[in-house]
A and B are shown apart, each in its own frame.
Chain A
Amino acid sequence: MLDGLKTFLLKAVDLSALTFLEPVVRLAWGEEPPVQMRRIGRNIVIPLIAIGAFLVAWTLISDKIQTKAGKLPGPVATYTQASKIWLTHQQEEEKKAAYDLTGPGREARLAEVETRLDDLVALDETARQGVIDAKAAAADALAQAQAPIDAKIDALKGQIKTAKATRKTELKTAAAALDAGNKDAYATFLASMQDGAQAIEADEDKLDVLKAQYKAVTDATHDPLVEAQKEATRVAEEIQHLTAMKDLLGGRNRGEKLAGLETKLEAATAAFYTAPGEKAYNAANKISMTKRSVTRTTQANYPTPYTLPYQVLRSIMCVFVGFLIGTAVAVPVGVLCGLSPTIMAAMTPFIALFKPVSPIVWLPIMLIIVTGLVGDPDNNAFIQFLWKLPFIGSYEVNPAFLASAAVVALCSLWATLANTALGVASIDQDHINVARVLKLGFWNRLFKIVLPSALPLMFAGMRISLGVGWMVLVAAELLASSEGIGKYVIDQFNNGSSESFASLIVVVFVVGIIGLLLDRIMIVFQRAVSFDGSVASI
Chain B
Amino acid sequence: MSNNDSRYVEIVNLVKAYPNPLGDAIKVVDGYNLTIKKGDLVTVIGHSGCGKSTVLMMLAGLNPITSGDVVVDGRVVDGPGPDRAVVFQAPCLLPWLTSYGNVMLGVKRCYPHASKKDRDDIVKYYLNLVGLADSMHKYPREMSGGMQQRVGIARAIALKPKMLLLDEPFGRLDSLTRMDLQDTILDILDKEKITTMLITHDVDEAVYMADRICMMTNGPEARVGQVLNVPFERPRTRADVTSDDLFFDLRASLISFLEKNEKTRPGDQPAPAAQPLDQGVYEAPSLLDTHAPRGGGADLVLAGSTSGPGQGTLN
Contact = CB atoms under 8 A, between A and B. Distances in A.
Note whether A and B contact each other (Cβ less than 8 A).
yes
A434 B141 contact: no
Interface in B39-68: 60-62
Nearest to B140: A531
B92 A438 contact: no
Main secondary structure of the interface of A (DSSP, over half): helix
B105 interface: yes
Nearest to B142: A533
Interface string B63-103: 00000000000000001111011101010101111000000
A428 B93 CA distance: 11
Contacts of A433: 62, 80, 86, 88, 92
Contact of A452 (B86, B94, B109, B159): B94
A355 interface: no
A327 interface: no
Interface in A147-200: none
B95 A531 contact: yes
Interface string A523-535: 0000001011100
B105 A438 contact: yes
Contacts of B106: 438
Contact of A437 (B81, B90, B95): B81
Interface string B227-260: 0000000000000000000000000000000000
A431 B94 contact: yes
Nearest to A433: B62
A438 B82 contact: yes
Given A452-B96, A453-B96, A440 B80 contact: no
Contacts of B90: 430
Contacts of B94: 431, 434, 448-449, 452-453
A439 interface: yes
B60 A437 contact: yes
Contact of A438 (B62, B79, B97, B109): B109
Contacts of B92: 428, 430-431, 433-434
A436 B106 CA distance: 11
B139 interface: yes
**Most A C-beta atoms less than 10 A away, residue of B61, B84, B90, B94:** B94
B141 A531 contact: yes
B305 to A, nearest CB: 33
Interface in B182-212: none
Nearest to B101: A448
A532 B81 CA distance: 28
Contacts of A439: 80-82, 109
A379 to B, nearest CB: 49
B87 to A, nearest CB: 10
B95 A532 contact: yes
B88 A448 contact: no
A532 B141 contact: yes
A437 B80 contact: yes
A456 to B, nearest CB: 9
B287 to A, nearest CB: 41
9 contacts: A433-B88, A437-B82, A438-B159, A440-B109, A453-B95, A455-B96, A529-B96, A532-B141, A533-B141
Interface of B: 60-62, 79-82, 84-86, 88, 90, 92, 94-97, 105-106, 109, 139, 141, 159
Top 9 A-B pairs ranked by shortest CB distance? A430-B92, A531-B96, A531-B95, A436-B80, A452-B96, A438-B109, A437-B80, A533-B141, A439-B81
Interface of A: 428, 430-431, 433-434, 436-440, 448-449, 452-453, 455, 529, 531-533
Given A438-B82, A439-B81, 6 more contacts: A430-B92, A436-B62, A437-B60, A438-B109, A448-B105, A452-B94
